[in-house]
Amino acid sequence: MDIPGPEPHPDGGAGAVAAAGGLHTYQLRLHARYGPVVRFQLPGADDAVSIADPVLLEATAHINQRPKRLFEFLAPLCEADNLQVLEASEHGPWRRLLLSVFAGRPSHEQHFARFTELATDLAVRWAGHGADEPVELQKDLTALTLRMICAYALGGDAADPDRVSAAFEVVLTEYLGRLYHVPVPGTEEERARRAEEALAFLRATVDEVVAAHHRSGGRGGRSDLIGALVESGASPARIRDTVMVTLLAAHHTTGVAVSWTLHLLGRHPEAAARAADELDRVLGDRAAPSYADLRRLTYLDMVLKEAMRLFPPGPYGARETTEPLVLGGYEIPAGTTLFYPFWAVHLNPDHWPEPERFDPERFTPEAAAGRPRLAHIPFGLGPRSCEGASLATVEALLTLSVLLKRLTFRPVPGHEVRPIERFVLWAADDIRMYARPRRPRGGAGGALRAGP
Ligand code: HEM
């Protein structure tokens, strides 16, 4: 049986995507018209098969290969092999090592105090904004999460955090800006030189951290990314590449996750009030949660999940089949590009009634138990899913707690928040909101106690 889909066009599909107003709206239309499995022209990949049904996705969840062409743009960040498209045999040990660090409680706890300080600095700064002076959520929150992941991956001592953050922004602006044709100041040569210098600085910084690790006698164990990489015998180039890819994967994604959550809470005051009540109940007069508190913030966790359903920070994924596959009655040959429209999966009306409606109650344990496992996949699926999922959740819940304990967020009238797909799901003109101090319950005279 032939897989349904639109007729191919000589422009490689770019026109159809542009006419639909972006890849996501195009996906929604394709799946509404042709069903859960669609063959279409994915710009940059010729032909691809998109799957928007979580039950059918299960049949692909074992696939451990990404299509090389689609991830070529990340090659400049890597000196050895492009880590996004490592062969399965090499990827397996690398993934296990990352998970042993990122998913482990020791690393979360070790960095929690620093994360809390950074989030608190932002909350205090926003609290100082005048009543008519909106804050820019994406700009400030992605800067915060870059600081957090730099502290996490490079430690506090060896690296100058301002310089590291600035250098990484230069690298991203150049390489991702190229991808999306975003105008960047300077001639092509000037920009390329700036990006190369910034990348060289970042790589030298990683080398310094490695040298400091050796000097210290190799302490750190599984709570320390660079320590774990050194101890695994990874080459210096692989260590540098892993740090680069970690900064890339962790930085914008986590920042926009928090931004979209605050955007939704600002438009749903009843949910915001419930989240604030929960924070008052769990934190009392403390300004920030402890690591253990995060598990008790069950409503906030549901809000974050619902926000990542409606605005998944990484809206797409891709795989390449290595052997023939049968999917919903269709035969898919080896070597096919599979496109994962995470965002469209999250809006599939068969599993999400009134899919556009914001409703954190969808994530009560009872409601979640009734849905297919892959109906909610903001962190992807299978052996190439996000290794940073649990760390990202810790960072996001902590940041939301610190901000929502101190502040309330209201939309700026007339400011249009328009999602735009740029590697992560961005808002075209940032998300501007009024952040006003709230009067907390719990503390004497409403004063908050610093620290968890
Ligand atoms: C809310 C924040 C985040 C979101 C929504 C997110 C989402 C994703 C998604 C959708 C993928 C692709 C998965 C797939 O192809 O199936 C991915 C990959 C990845 N993410 Fe995340 N991510 C987040 C934060 C982080 C953080 C904090 C880290 C590291 C500390 C991280 C590290 C990675 C890595 C290394 C990969 C590549 C996976 C591989 O090829 O094995 N991410 N992430």
Q: What is the pLDDT of residue 422?
A: 81
Q: What is the pLDDT of residue 169?
A: 86
Q: Whose CA is nearest to atom 16 of ligand 1?
A: 380
Q: What is the pLDDT of residue 3?
A: 96
Q: What is the mean pLDDT of residues 395-403?
A: 98
Ligand 1 center to residue 191 CA distance, Å?
27
Contact 256, 311 (CB under 8 A): yes
Q: What is the pLDDT of residue 180?
A: 62
> Among 106-120, 151-165, 275-289, 361-375, which is the least confidently predicted range?
151-165
Parallel, antiparallel, or unpaired for β 337-340 and 47-51? parallel
Q: Which two structure tokens, joined as six digits, stand for 238?
A: 């692989």
User: Which whole-number Å values give the CA distances from 212 to 97, 217, 219, 313, 403, in the listed order?
Assistant: 21, 9, 10, 34, 35
Q: What is the 3-state secondary structure (H, E, C) of 37-75?
A: EEEEECCCCCEEEEECCHHHHHHHCCCCCCCCHHHHHHH
**77-82 contacts at long range (C-beta below 8 A, 24 or more positions apart):** 77/171, 77/175, 77/199, 77/241, 77/244, 77/245, 77/248, 78/241, 78/244, 78/245, 79/203, 79/237, 79/240, 79/241, 80/235, 80/237, 80/238, 80/241, 81/241
Q: What is the mean pLDDT of residues 148-173?
A: 84
3-state helix, strand, coil in the chain (%, to 5): 55, 10, 35
Ligand 1, atom nearest to 395 Cα: 27
> Among 241-250, 380-389, 419-428, 442-451, which is the least confidently predicted range?
442-451
Task: Give the pLDDT band of residue 344 (cuts 50, 70, 90).
Answer: very high
Q: Which two structure tokens, joined as six digits, stand for 26?
A: 């195009």
Q: Whose CA is nearest to atom 20 of ligand 1?
A: 386
Q: What is the pLDDT of residue 138?
A: 95
Residue 444 has pLDDT above 50, yes or no: no
Q: Among the ranges 153-162, 170-179, 371-380, which has the highest mean pLDDT value?
A: 371-380
Q: What is the pLDDT of residue 175?
A: 78
Q: What is the mean pLDDT of residues 347-365?
A: 97
298-313 residue pLDDT tens: 999 999 999 999 999 9
Q: Which two structure tokens, joined as six digits, stand for 392?
A: 């990202």
Task: Map tokens 């409680």 to a residue.
Answer: 105
Contact 396, 257 (CB under 8 A): yes
Sequence ranges of the domains in the chain? 14-446
Nearest-5° Cα angle at 173, 377 to 150? 65
Q: CA 379 to CA 314: how far, in whole Å?
A: 8
- 123/179: higher pLDDT: 123
Q: CA 84 to CA 190: how far, in whole Å?
A: 28
The residues pairing with 325 across neighbouring beta strands, listed in sequence order, are: 332
10-46 residue pLDDT tens: 999 999 999 999 999 999 999 999 999 999 999 888 8
CATH class name, domain 14-446: mainly alpha
How many residues does this entry show for the chain?
A: 452
Share of the chain above pLDDT 90, in %: 78
Mean model confidence pLDDT for the chain: 92
Parallel, antiparallel, or unpaired for β 325-327 and 47-51? unpaired
In this structure, how many other beta carbons lie within 10 angstroms of the beta carbon of residue 414?
Answer: 6
Residue 395 has pLDDT above 80, yes or no: yes
- Which residues form the pocket of ligand 1, taking CB atoms under 6 Å from any ligand atom? 84, 95, 98, 102, 245-246, 249-250, 253-254, 257, 313-314, 317, 378-381, 384-388, 391-392, 396
Q: What is the mean pLDDT of residues 397-418?
A: 97
Ligand 1 center to residue 257 CA distance, Å?
12
Q: CA 224 to CA 82: how far, in whole Å?
A: 23
Q: What is the mean pLDDT of residues 310-321?
A: 96
Q: What is the mean pLDDT of residues 56-77?
A: 93
Angle at which helices 236-267 and 137-154 cross, to 10°? 150
With the most atoms of ligand 1 within 8 angstroms of its CB, the residue from 251, 386, 393, 394 to mutate is: 386
Residue 267 has pLDDT above 90, yes or no: yes
- 369/1: higher pLDDT: 369
Ligand 1, atom nearest to 319 Cα: 15
Task: Give the pLDDT band of residue 176 (cuts 50, 70, 90).
Answer: confident
